Amino acid sequence: MAMVCLSDFEAYAKKYLPKIAWDFFAAGADDCSTRDENILAYKRIHFRPRMLRDVSVMDIRTKLLGTEISFPVGIAPTGFHQLAWPDGEKSTARAAKAMNICYIASTYSTCTLEEISAAAPSSLRWFQLYIHRNRAVSRQLVQQAEALGFQGLVLTADLPYTGKRRDDVRNGFRLPPHMKLKNLEGAFEVCKMSLLDPSVTWNDIYWLRSLTHLPIIIKGILTNEDAELAVRHGVQGIIVSNHGGRQLDGAPATIDALVEVVEAVQGKVEVYLDGGIRKGSDVLKALALGAKCVFIGRPALWGLAYKGEEGLQEVLRILQDEFRLSMALAG
């Protein structure tokens, strides 16, 4: 079967992944309203295309905090890549390097930070952090990421507790015995999400800044109030995100929340977005509304499930081609 668009990869992953893995990746919280709205919201946004603009030459490169990438799409932090492909996050890192884009590695990776770095040396990698009750564990991860050459620290702000994902509850989801959360091994009993620290506040940004020279990007912002607080607390970037609809069901679609966040920060920090990107035209809509770059979550996992690193590169190339075409046709 020819893989023509991202939904082809979705159909493949749904057919061939074990049900428990597919359900975990696909899950949204509660009724999945926010998960689905992330996608539907793009369909309500229309272009005002301009004609006769000479689109014979186009430059789709951009920069993330000063580092050039080949086009404004990166890979969002998602956990447990070995559920999709045996090489897990190593394949993800290699695909991102091959396409010259940014990959945000998750705290909940099934490969170590060392393995991820070694798989794609001198690539643009950021590290996503959950702050745990055991602060020493978080401190160690941050310092390890910096030592290994990760270039940004992404703090996820929207997970004081894990949202209720019904299929995971029904399936009694847990990692298969041969898989481990490699970065947390030995730190404590793995996969007890209750070890996340629900007492984290804005003041913890100062704590993080005391640990590292890395730029701090905060992920999970959906309102102008929180965007202003992020700027005030000295972050360098914001990812407008609702965790793929996996946390608070009834939160806005990220593309709908983007405009007020962009207006609130007034160009003081870079604003990115994840959630619901399924076509190159979605990328263009996000950029037109003020995002500097978008990050894909589930589509990256579908690419891995299809053919590992090669499948993920294919997903990214399709998005890149569709984005370039949308730019040209919109003038």
Q: Annotation-wise, does 133 bind a ligand? A: no
243 is catalytic: yes
Q: Annotation-wise, does 324 bind a ligand? A: no
HSE of 175, CA atoms in CB hemisphere, 13 A: 20
Q: Annotation-wise, does 278 bind a ligand? A: yes
Q: Annotation-wise, does 94 bind a ligand? A: no
Q: Which residue among 81, 178, 213, 243 is the active-site one?
A: 243
Q: Annotation-wise, does 249 bind a ligand? A: no
- Neighbouring CB atoms inside 10 A of 105's CB total 28
Burial grade of 54 (CB within 10 A; 0-12, 13-18, 19 or more): exposed
Going by their DSSP bridges, the two strands 62-64 and 67-69 should be labelled as: antiparallel
CA neighbor of 322 nearest in space, from 42, 79, 107, 34: 42
Q: Annotation-wise, does 299 bind a ligand? A: no
Q: Annotation-wise, does 326 bind a ligand? A: no
Q: Annotation-wise, does 176 bind a ligand? A: no
Report yes or no: 208 and 153 within 8 Å, Cβ to Cβ: yes
Query: Can you name the residues that pair with 273 across neighbouring β-strands?
Result: 240, 294
Q: Annotation-wise, does 243 bind a ligand? A: yes
H helix and E strand count, the chain: 12, 10
Q: Annotation-wise, does 164 bind a ligand? A: no
CA distances from 321 to 12, 31, 97, 293 (A): 21, 34, 18, 16
The contacts of residue 288 (CB under 8 Å, 6+ apart) are 47
The single-letter code of the amino acid at 303 is: G
Q: Annotation-wise, does 106 bind a ligand? A: yes
Q: Annotation-wise, does 70 bind a ligand? A: no
Residue ranges of the binding site:
77-79, 106, 128, 130, 156, 165, 219, 241, 243, 246, 274-278, 297-298
Q: Which positions make up the binding site for glyoxylate?
A: 165, 243, 246
- The annotated binding site for FMN is made up of 77-79, 106, 128, 130, 156, 219, 241, 274-278, 297-298
Catalytic residues: 243
